[in-house]
Chain A
């Protein structure tokens, strides 16, 4: 059995999450790691007998790779993707795609032109209870959605700054936006509001500490998604969906289905990141492309998230019906 040789760009927390999965795959070999912090790259490389590099160009010029994982913070996107595309390398990239729309659109165009296998880390699509919710909603279409990312402030300092992370809606709540699109369909109109309070423990934090968005979907459904990072714990992260005679409460670990007879909860089984990585590797190996969120699909979610931020900045409704 030949092994699929993978390189990783970025050696932070989310890279570790994927490594924990990829190292279980017998048909995968972890061949190289790149990080501007060379010691972090060495620390990962030396777990696997791999090579370490200071930047993505060196990695992509180094070992013969079959695909690359791009696990870098929001502000760093662009070069790694372009280099991978230039070498005809399939890539998995973590959300959000970029800070600005132009970068992601240009990448999407090149990916399409090259016909490359891609995947984006919107792993909620791989939660088994999300499948169950989809089945339910196929019978009774959603009319109202109510999404939440009510949480603490993440520790990495880049996250605190709008010009590094894009803010909570773009960096975190984008998972909920993607989930809403996956279950309810395209978003045609958004109106965002955002507010900010300084947080003493997070000096210099300039992202909105509360934000909310009203959404209109092409299906006629409407909804709202709210975010805050003002807590010191994770309070609620999920999506509530209402249809005729059906209320769903979905989180990343369970699903409550309310049809008027109690509030039964089913727990999610298995690891969605495992399924997500497996689908990507299978697509790279040419044994069927079942990737649920390729780059072009993720771009549609990213457009909605950026439109919400833009709307909050400009105080105006943003119409997306043309773009999506």
Chain B
């Protein structure tokens, strides 16, 4: 009988983290009995449906009644609960109840350590007592957590399955209304302050003065979308910058784009960046820890976070020097294949599970 692993998040909008959980669960479900657990609200409910369609077990819970979650964990007799957290205050209740139910507990930090409140910092330290092993999705995430709580952190860099495009670029560009010669600059990210869309809009004017045929496509959804729309309108950039909302054809868009731009203020190890690398799209990105690890420090189009001038210069350069842009895209694709595949991430995670499970007494779930 397989060990029972529960992949859990209490995020109401797990976005990239949810994708990561699906990727992981799908990749290791032959070796383990996997249940994906999430709140039964909004995008998390969609995550549960997608997990079910992948063949994973699914468990919904009510964030305001975690007692039921605790009771279910007791009855289900999970061997290991793997909690996925974005910002550090997430997942505490899930961790505590999992330990209380007698399961081994793994926690993945998907973002750098961002807690500034002393109370939250203390809660984080206390929560760690119930964690057997932490994982960070990048070296930078691990380093940022150093000193903020007991226990070491294993780094298992994010990984994704490369999804090939399904449509021809010329059809995609036609659907998007791009004329011959227009340059498609693509950003795929949630509309949150973290992702730096404000910088991109600020940089756009300088890009357009040198490259009037540049067209920015902002793909994603989120709380800042309306604010960014207003910024675009107030600067009269509506013809050049189009927020598309969330789309399910990102591989097609990446294969059609002249440039992928990720202007984030901070990152763990962004999946959208890995997707762009896998698609061999030329990339301009802010030099956050996880992003630099993904692209390598020699990537020619890395810019300091929070600097719209540097961002516009790098975009201009990448649009002008296509040879360098394409060479860097090929190098990024090679790095992706070597370092950031879903298979590698899943194997490392499974190995960690096995090492933890081998040191604990079987709980008799299958007895």
Contacts and interface: CB of A to CB of B under 8 A. Distances in A.
A45 B37 CA distance: 11
B257 interface: no
Contact of B37 (A38, A42, A49): A49
A307 interface: no
Interface string B18-62: 000000000000000001010010000000110011011111100
A39 B58 contact: no
A38 B53 contact: yes
Q: Which of under 10, 10 to 19, 20 to 34, or 35 or more describes the interface residues of B? A: 10 to 19
Contacts of B72: 48-49
B29 to A, nearest CB: 10
Interface in B69-111: 72, 75-76
Interface in A81-102: none
Contacts of A269: none
A46 B40 CA distance: 9
B4 to A, nearest CB: 9
A49 B76 contact: yes
Contacts of A38: 49, 52-53
Contacts of B48: 42, 46
Contacts of B53: 38, 52
B59 A39 contact: no
Nearest to A44: B58
B14 to A, nearest CB: 15
B6 interface: yes
Contacts of B56: 51
B52 A42 contact: yes
B174 interface: no
A38 B48 CA distance: 12
Given A51-B57, A52-B58, A46 B76 contact: no
Given A39-B49, A51-B52, A45 B58 contact: yes
A24 B48 CA distance: 24
A154 interface: no
Given A42-B58, A46-B59, A47-B60, A52 B52 contact: yes
A321 B366 CA distance: 50
A38 B50 CA distance: 11
Contacts of A47: 60
Interface of B is mostly: mixed
Interface in A260-288: none
Interface in B1-21: 6
Interface in A175-200: none
B49 A50 contact: no
B367 A2 contact: yes
A26 B74 CA distance: 11
Interface size class of A (residues with CB under 8 A): 10 to 19
A48 B60 CA distance: 8
Contacts of A39: 49
Interface in B273-306: none
A192 B342 CA distance: 66
Contacts of A52: 52-53, 58
A36 interface: no
Contact of B59 (A2, A41, A48, A62): A48
B249 to A, nearest CB: 22
B3 to A, nearest CB: 14
B49 to A, nearest CB: 5
Nearest to B52: A52
A62 B37 CA distance: 19
Contacts of A51: 52, 55-58
A50 B56 CA distance: 8
Interface string A49-71: 11110000000001000000000
A39 B52 CA distance: 10
Interface in B95-141: none
A292 B37 CA distance: 39
Nearest to B68: A47
Contact of A49 (B6, B55, B366): B6
Contact of A41 (B35, B40, B52, B367): B52
Most buried by A among B52, B60, B75, B76: B52
A153 B338 CA distance: 65
11 contacts: A2-B366, A38-B49, A46-B48, A49-B35, A49-B58, A49-B72, A49-B76, A50-B58, A51-B56, A52-B52, A52-B58
In order of increasing CB-CB distance, the 6 nearest A-B pairs are A49-B59, A46-B60, A52-B52, A46-B58, A42-B52, A49-B35
Interface of A: 2, 26, 29, 38-39, 41-42, 45-52, 62
Interface of B: 6, 35, 37, 40, 48-49, 52-53, 55-60, 72, 75-76, 366-367
Given A26-B75, A42-B58, A49-B59, 5 more contacts: A42-B49, A45-B57, A46-B52, A49-B35, A51-B56
